[in-house]
């Protein structure tokens, strides 16, 4: 504790030292080793492996602990055993180690677990240097992040609810399209007509200057998706999310020339190789990839850079409260267009997190605390596993300079 107090005190006086700042800060970073990776189940999570909000805790021999969110037990156990004894500050190196060690490229569920561990590593490094993670990513580029609402509480009719959402302070009201009557089949053409009528009600509710968005939820076939995009174009949606199924990204080469509304795609995707073709060919306008699904902050910031290069905005999908807090750091250190998804009125209060994000009147603000700025209460969670032993079942070769390459 004394060592960390000295570290924080020394960092406070660095502002006037110019180039010496980075040298002294790096010298002050303590030499650490990862000693334990723990995985906790929490009650406030969805029963979906690659959308879990379970908690990962990484402990070090310096007493600095990092907190992450996501993953499932098998993947966390496997990835955690790879990094025991490693230096947690070598985040990029550990990302490559976890991503590539088992030779076969990991699926999206495993990338989700990698992302949870990656969040914890960034949390450790920020705490070790006494700075928020956004400072490690280049510093603030914006004062706050605008948000749009998913599942805003009903205020009566759809028109009244959309109006209440905008008056609350949200940038936009998000709608997922019409549903069939309970037990009735999903008849695409009828659903398209019904959805169009509801979209007109929403436009009336948000007003001429308000914003709204719609998620097609990959429910529609190509002809119906194209028709609905055409119908709602005069209503000026902020974006249309996931208009068709995501398994074949190449299909957007066919869809994109036939629609004129802005498209938001990527909720189903993970690391940058899932969506780089779509971004580089500007086949959508906003990237929906999120944390920890992308593989964590390490990969998300690379995707943000690819998006900026190709004039694609960032509209990350909401996963859990800790990941939402981490996204604020990422977007506040990115310069492109950005808007974040928030559920309801943003008043979720997960019992296992006493501190997570700063949400006020439809906006998320950066938190000026070391690391991610989150506080985890393990007494409000169930310990599932603890990893303390290192395991490397498959060798990984290194280049002459020490960087890893595949087996």
| Tally of structural domains, the chain | 2
CATH of the domain at 335: 3.20.20.120
Neighbours of 241 (CB within 10 A): 27
Lowest mean pLDDT among 10-19, 84-93, 224-233: 10-19
Structure tokens at 341: 């998804």
For 179-214, letters b (16+ CB in 10 Å) and e give eeeeeeeeebeebbeebbebbbebbbbbeeebbbbb
Q: Is residue 1 situated within a structural domain?
A: no
| DSSP-assigned letter for residue 31 | P
Paired strand residues for 376: 353
Position 15 in a domain: no
In whole angstroms, how far apart are CA 196 and each of 199, 230, 273, 294?
5, 10, 35, 33
Same domain, yes or no: 57 and 145: no
Same domain, 64 and 156: no
Burial class (CB in 10 A: 0-12, 13-18, 19+), 279: buried
Asked whether residue 154 is assigned to any structural domain, the reply reads: yes
The H or E element spanning position 36 is strand 34-41
pLDDT more than 90, % of the chain:
85
Lowest mean pLDDT among 37-41, 101-105, 147-151: 101-105
Q: Are residues 330 and 388 in the same domain?
A: no
Contact 245, 272 (CB under 8 A): no
Same domain, yes or no: 190 and 271: yes
Closest CA to 376 of 58, 62, 99, 77: 58
| 124 inside domain | yes
Q: Considering only 38-47, 204-213, 362-371, which range has the smallest mean pLDDT?
A: 38-47
Considering the domain architecture, whether residues 241 and 366 belong to the same structural domain is answered as yes
Residue 206 shares a structural domain with residue 69: no
Phi, psi of 376 (to 5 degrees): -110, 135
| The pairing of beta strand 145-150 with beta strand 340-343 | parallel
- What CATH number is attached to the domain comprising 121? 3.30.390.10
Q: Are residues 157 and 78 in the same domain?
A: no
**Whether 217 is catalytic:** yes
Q: Which of 39-48, 112-121, 216-225, 284-293 has the lowest mean pLDDT?
A: 39-48
Residues in a beta bridge with 264: 241, 286
What's the CA gap between 284 and 131, in Å, rounded? 35
- Rounded Cα distance, 41 and 382, in Å: 5
Active-site choice (217, 268, 329, 397) = 217
Q: What SS3 state is found at 214?
A: strand
Mention every residue, 6+ apart, whose C-beta is less than 8 A from residue 6.
none
Among residues 335, 292, 344, 333, the alpha carbon closest in space to that of 316 is found at 292
pLDDT for 354 beyond 50: yes
Domain membership of residue 24 (yes or no) is no
Mean pLDDT for the stretch of residues 135-149: 98
Domain coverage including residue 77: 31-130+378-405
Tell me if 10 is assigned to some domain.
Answer: no
pLDDT digits (tens, 9 = 90+) for 302-323: 999 999 999 999 999 998 999 9
- The reply to whether 2 falls in a domain is no
Residue 317 among the catalytic residues: yes
Task: Yes or no: say if 220 and 246 are a contact pair by the CB < 8 Å rule.
Answer: no
Q: Are residues 297 and 361 in the same domain?
A: yes
Q: Verify that 159 and 300 share a domain, yes or no.
A: yes
Residues 326 and 266 in one domain: yes
List the beta bridge partners of residue 398: 404
Residues 75, 174 share a domain = no
pLDDT of residue 27: 54
- What is the residue-averaged pLDDT of the chain? 92
* Alpha carbon distance 253, 250 (integer Å): 6
Q: Which helix (H) or strand (E) holds 331?
A: helix 321-331
| This prediction's pTM | 0.91
Pairwise pLDDT comparison (123 vs 11), residue with the higher score: 123
Kindly state whether residue 3 falls inside one of the protein's structural domains.
no
Q: What digits encode the pLDDT tens for the residues 143-154?
A: 999 999 999 999
Query: In the predicted model, what is the mean pLDDT of residues 362-377?
Result: 97
- Considering the domain architecture, whether residues 336 and 246 belong to the same structural domain is answered as yes
The residue annotated as part of the active site, out of 54, 101, 317, 329, is: 317
């Amino acid at each position: 504790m004394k060592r960390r107090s000295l570290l924080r005190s020394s960092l406070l006086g660095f502002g006037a030292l110019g180039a010496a700042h980075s040298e002294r800060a790096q010298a002050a970073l303590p030499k650490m080793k990862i000693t334990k990776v723990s995985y906790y189940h929490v009650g406030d999570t969805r029963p979906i492996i690659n959308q879990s909000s379970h908690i990962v805790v990484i402990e070090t021999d310096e007493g600095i602990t990092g907190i992450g969110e996501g993953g499932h037990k098998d993947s966390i156990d496997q990835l955690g055993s790879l990094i025991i004894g490693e230096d947690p500050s070598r985040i990029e190196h550990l990302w490559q180690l976890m991503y590539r060690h088992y030779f076969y490229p990991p699926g999206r569920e495993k990338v989700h677990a990698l992302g949870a561990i990656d969040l914890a590593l960034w949390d450790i490094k920020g705490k070790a240097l006494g700075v928020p993670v956004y400072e490690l990513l280049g510093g603030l580029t914006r004062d706050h992040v605008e948000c749009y609402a998913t599942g805003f509480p009903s205020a009566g009719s759809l028109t009244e609810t959309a109006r209440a959402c905008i008056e609350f302070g949200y940038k936009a009201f998000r709608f997922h399209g019409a549903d069939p009557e309970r037990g009735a089949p999903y008849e695409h053409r009828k659903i398209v007509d019904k959805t169009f009528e509801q979209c007109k009600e929403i436009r009336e509710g948000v007003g001429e200057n308000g914003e709204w968005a719609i998620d097609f939820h990959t429910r529609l076939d190509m002809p119906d998706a194209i028709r609905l995009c055409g119908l709602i174009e005069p209503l000026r949606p902020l974006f249309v999310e996931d208009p068709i199924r995501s398994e074949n990204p190449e299909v957007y080469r066919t869809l994109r020339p036939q629609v004129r509304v802005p498209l938001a795609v990527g909720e189903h995707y993970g690391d940058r190789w899932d969506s780089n073709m779509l971004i580089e060919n500007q086949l959508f306008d906003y990237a929906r990839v999120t944390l920890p699904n992308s593989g964590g902050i390490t990969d998300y910031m690379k995707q943000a850079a690819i998006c900026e290069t190709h004039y694609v905005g960032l509209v990350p999908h909401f996963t859990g409260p800790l990941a939402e807090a981490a996204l604020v750091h990422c977007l506040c250190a990115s310069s492109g267009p950005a808007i974040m998804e928030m559920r309801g009125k943003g008043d979720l209060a997960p019992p296992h997190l006493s501190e997570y994000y700063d949400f006020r009147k439809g906006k998320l603000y950066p938190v000026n605390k070391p690391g991610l700025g989150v506080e985890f209460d393990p007494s409000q969670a169930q310990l599932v596993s603890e990893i303390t032993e290192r395991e490397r079942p498959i060798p990984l070769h290194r280049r002459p300079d020490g960087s890893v390459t595949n087996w």
